[in-house]
Chains A and B, each alone.
Chain A
Amino acid sequence: MPKPKQPEQTSSGISRRDFFKSSTVGAVSTALVSGVHGEGSSVEVLGPGEVGIKLNVNGKTRRLRVEPRVTLLDALRSELDVTGAKKVCDRSTCGACTVLLDGKPVYACSVLAVEAQDKQIVTVEGLGTPEKMHPVQKAFVENDAQQCGFCTPGFVVACAAFLEKHPNPDIEDLKKGLGGNLCRCGTYDGIKKAVKQVAAEGGINA
């Protein structure tokens, strides 16, 4: 069965999904108080209704409308169809949702989409493709660091960030630096080997 995907953004910046959403949650939309500046303060108050935002995801600017309470992870997955990062715990425990925000690894389930504006967001898809893998991705494959693969996107991103900071990690660095991601299938041994291999082969920019 052909699986129709959500159409991409139209040139007007409004996708069919946005149209669809705003027509069905009209009651919520009337409560929109976007961009209200508090008196005598420079703090911008957003919401509670949808606001238009721009996210830079894997080098591309994407426009979308989200309620301010929407997390970066939900925005990526549900609004932008960037589904590499996974939601498992939804509360900063498992690391399955790890993405880079201006080069720093963050749990996308615990960052609001509105907070990620004006930052460079890199997901696992932005690191490499099956045809042109990032050194970490290649090392994961070569060391069989994935089984079911559900934790893998988060781990790949975490490892890339970790190796950037620790080009020659020792085991203690590794334990601490990658302790924020969990795997149920038990791929830690392959991940350790993959990290060591990347370090030995000249790092993530080799």
Chain B
Amino acid sequence: MPEYNWPEAEKRSRIGNRKTRLDGPVKVTGKAEYTYDVKLYGMLYAKMLTCPHAHAKIVSIDISQAEAMEGVKAIRMIQEPGAEIQWADDEIVAVAAETEDIARDALKAIKVEYEVLDHFVDDENKDAAPVVNPAQEEVTGDPDAAFANAAFVSEGFYGARVIAHACLESHGDVAVWDDDEHLTVFASTQAVSSLPGQFADGLGIPAANVRVICQHVGGGFGSKFSADRWGIECARLAKIAGRPVKLMLERDAEIHVAGGRPSSYAKIKTAADKDGNIVGWASESWGTGGPAGTGSPPVPYVWQIPNRRHQHSSIPTNIGPSRAWRAPNHPQACFLTMSALEDLAAKVGMDPLDFVLKNIALTGTRSQNYADELKIGADLIGWKHHWHPRGQAGDGPVKRGLGLALHTWGGRGHQSNCELVIHADSSVEIKLGSQDLGTGTRTVIALVVADTFGLTADDITVRIGDSRYPASGASGGSTTVGGVSSAARRASLVALEQLLGRIAPELEAKPEDLEVINSTIRVKGDHSKSLSWKEATALLGVSTITATGQHPGPGRLDDSGVAGIQMADVSVDTETGVVSINKMVAVQDCGLIIDLMTAESQVHGALIMGIAYSLAEERVMDPVTGTLLNGDMEFYKLPGIGDVGELVVHMMTGPGYDERGVIGLGEPPVVSPGAAISNAVANAIGVRVPYLPLTPDRVLEALGKGGAA
């Protein structure tokens, strides 16, 4: 059995380099096929009639006219009379027709009668909520005494609104029945290997009879783990019609029902002693993720403040459902915590960088990482040069300010299985039922195999995106890279051992005396004895070498727990309320980095997504009707290329980081932007804008209550 570990730094030929992604060329030329692009012969198009009311009971549904329409091939009642609808845009009836237009026309011919019920969408207004579900208060230490004896106490209100996932490729599927019992689904998903079981459950067939394919997915961010009701209905329509059916969500549904990050509001009180040591925390939070309310954000976030009290209330609303949004609950918790602590620093009269460093021991096991990263970040953003006390941004209507935040995440590898084959013609293929969300999964797998075999990533054929390959975990929670890279490494090491065993006699050496380098297998210390990879694999004759790899497994290849810091440099126009980003700096660790290029891209992307939810994104609900007002891309705002400023990413690598093994990176860098940007705005204008997003109206409102206008 080989020794399962990562190669030492000087032995890494591919791991840790900057490799452009393997699927780049098909993506930039339009050749990459997404679920949305799939077209099968005879395929029908499905559309869904949705509920116009935020809270209602279905009284009756009449589909007779639609059924009689030419070109309509299948209709399914998704919900029956009597069902209670909890949000507008919930699905009621699905129609499959020859064209999208006919399907749309058919929806108009369906009559649904509703009994409209009272709704509640004003989630910030806890006192008005018809239902409030308080959780148990959590208390550590003696917060009352801490506040009583504190030299400085800061109090504030902070709130992060509900936002959407807003994937550019909406959720959806193409379903085709191969026969009455066997289904193939092209799905826009983050969970290729777990979807067959979900479709099987919904349809009452064995999971073995369901195949799920997803080569490329146009965004997920935590919203695409489920077969979803519309996926099951798509398959049912296909069965009724006896034809393939495509059902993709419309844009408004994508924003309203196919994702959502719960809101988080909190009243927070913090305390420091006369030297600026943080001594107390008291918070009362509430929020919503739809009819189920939402769990508590983990506050105080990262900071283990000795005396603390927290109480959370979950508010059920008719705002629409929620899903795991990249780093679930962390961005909200980080925003609440780091904003409150920055306000405390201002009360104490300290530079928040000094304040955070002074208290850094309260961040626990990774406090040294945070301290190191803060110093690097401060240099990269010119903290000591540009920072000024809160509100002292000088004359003129445009005020500049700096802010910082820090975050954590787990990121241990998920369960993953793979099969690796070395063919006699020298080619190598590896198969996993994983998926590449645009994070670089394909490329990472290829680099691991290539590094182990002394080849290049382009020599490796990576097959993913098909549930017929060995099962691999869903891509969520930054678990993919640890899982697939560890499984691939184990399989590669086993396969290499077998290959070396086969060719050692040829080189008159023992297998353990052989090494692979630059597509060559040679005897250590006697390089005259060597075979090229091609010659070596040719010796396999009519056989192949096949190895499997699993994660978790023997040896330590992955780890959990990262630290990251971010700093923002913003300008605020106090006449218009517009916040613009001058620069953002992210300093991030994630253990051993397999591909530096796609790792950095993850962080860049997270910064931009963070700028989006800090400045622009929110689901705007109409209090009167309870419906979504901005279910489109004009008004569900995302920043453009000119809105993101200069972005600087610094990855912590080398000794102290690499030997920890691989740790996921998708979530952590999206946690801090909200807090860092909000703090920078407070620094610039001298007053806290309590909400995310920091829209101009909110900035002006905060300025109206004080600050350096």
Binding site for B on A (CB under 8 A): 1, 3-6, 20-21, 24-27, 67, 74, 77-78, 81, 83-91, 93-94, 96, 123-125, 127-130, 133, 136-137, 140-142, 144-153, 156, 174-176, 178-192
Contacts and interface: CB of A to CB of B under 8 A. Distances in A.
Given A26-B70, A130-B31, A149 B216 contact: yes
Contacts of B220: 148
B593 to A, nearest CB: 14
Given A1-B178, A24-B98, A133-B28, 17 more contacts: A1-B211, A5-B39, A25-B70, A78-B100, A85-B30, A93-B634, A96-B168, A123-B30, A125-B31, A144-B24, A144-B597, A149-B27, A176-B642, A182-B633, A183-B608, A186-B606, A186-B608
B70 A91 contact: no
Given A5-B41, A81-B39, A96-B168, A152 B27 contact: yes
**Best-surrounded residue of A129, A145, A178, A184 (most CB of chain B within 10 A):** A184
Contact of A89 (B169, B633, B644): B633
Nearest to A127: B29
B605 interface: yes
Contacts of B640: 175, 178-182, 188
B594 to A, nearest CB: 14
Contacts of B642: 174-176, 178-179
Interface residues of B, number: 65
B298 interface: no
B605 A150 contact: no
B218 A150 contact: yes
Contact of B40 (A4, A84, A85, A142): A4
B238 to A, nearest CB: 14
A1 B39 CA distance: 13
A134 to B, nearest CB: 8
A141 B24 contact: yes
Contacts, number: 197
Contact of B29 (A6, A129, A182): A129
A141 B25 contact: yes
Contacts of A151: 168
B641 A181 contact: yes
B689 interface: no
B605 A186 contact: yes
Contact of A187 (B30, B33, B36, B605): B605
Contacts of B166: 184
Nearest to A152: B27
In the complex, the 8 A-B pairs of residues with the closest C-beta atoms, listed nearest first: A84-B30, A175-B642, A186-B608, A150-B218, A186-B605, A147-B438, A148-B438, A149-B27
A187 B167 contact: no
A54 B98 CA distance: 23
B102 interface: yes
Main secondary structure of the interface of A (DSSP, over half): loop
5 contacts: A26-B70, A86-B34, A146-B438, A148-B216, A150-B34
Contacts of A86: 34, 36, 168-169, 218
**Best-surrounded residue of A25, A26, A150 (most CB of chain B within 10 A):** A150
A161 B582 CA distance: 27
B515 interface: no
Contact of A88 (B24, B100, B168, B597): B168
A78 B608 CA distance: 33
Nearest to A138: B28
Contacts of B604: 186-190
A184 B168 contact: yes
A88 B609 contact: no
Contacts of B216: 148-149
Contacts of A149: 23, 27-28, 32, 216, 218, 438
A63 to B, nearest CB: 19
Contacts of A77: 37
A24 B70 contact: yes
A93 B168 CA distance: 12
Given A21-B98, A27-B70, A175-B641, A141 B28 contact: yes
Contacts of A123: 30
**Best-surrounded residue of A81, A141, A144 (most CB of chain B within 10 A):** A144
A96 B170 CA distance: 13
Nearest to B436: A148
A27 B71 CA distance: 10
A189 B647 contact: yes
B27 A25 contact: no
**Best-surrounded residue of A24, A148, A183 (most CB of chain B within 10 A):** A148
Given A149-B27, A150-B219, A189-B647, A184 B34 contact: no
Contacts of A180: 640
A7 to B, nearest CB: 8
A24 B99 CA distance: 10
Contacts of A27: 70
